[in-house]
Amino acid sequence: MTLDQILTEMDRQGIETYEEHMESDLKGIYCDKVVWLNSNVKSPKEKVCILAEELGHYHTSSGNILDLADIRNQKQEKRARGWAYEKLIPLQRLVEASKEGVRNRYELAEYLDVTEEFLEDALTQYRGKYGIYAIWSGYVIYFEPLGVLEFYE
C-alpha cells in the first residue's frame, strides 16, 4: 500500500491527517478521528507503516492509551499494531511475493513497500499467532525460515 493509498483510505473514513513537529520520540498519534504524524519521519515507507498503525487504533482502540505502563493500554497498542500488520502484509501478499520471485527479507520489504523493521515485527506477530507456519488457500507460509510452498491434495 502506498502513502497516497493509505491517505486516501483514511480520508474516506473521515480521518484527518496532519504532519507536525513533535518534541517527543512519538512518530504518530491518533485521537478522535485525527492522526498527527511526526514531521521528522521522512521515509514514505515508514510513514505508511506509522499511518497503518494509527488507522489500526481507529479500528481497535478506545480511550487514552498513552500510559504504556498500564497492561490494558499495552494490549490495545498490540491490537492496533496487529491490525496494521494484517492490513499491509496479509498472508495473500506473502504468497504473491513468492510467486514474483522474492527470495529474502530485504526484497520482501521492498516488494511490500514497508520498512524492514515493520516486516520483521509482522513476521514475529504471525509466528506468535500461527506458530512456524500458516496455511492459506493451498499454500504453506513458513515464517522461520521464511518461505512459501504450494501443496497439492
- The answer to whether 7 and 26 are in contact (CB under 8 A) is no
pLDDT at residue 153 greater than cutoff 80: no
28: nearest Cα among 6, 5, 1: 6
Enter the DSSP assignment of 149.
E
List Cβ<8 Å contacts ≥24 apart for 123-128: 125/81, 125/82, 125/85, 126/85, 126/91
What's the pTM value of the predicted model, to 2 decimals? 0.92
- The answer to whether 38 and 82 are in contact (CB under 8 A) is no
Instruction: Give percent of the chain with pLDDT exceeding 70.
Output: 99
The pLDDT assigned to 65 comes to 82
- The model's pLDDT over 50-68, given as tens digits with 9 standing for 90+, comes to 999 999 999 998 888 887 8
pLDDT at residue 47 greater than cutoff 90: yes
Task: Sketch the domain layout of the chain as residue ranges.
Answer: 1-71, 89-153
CATH fold for domain 1-71: Zincin-like (3.30.2010)
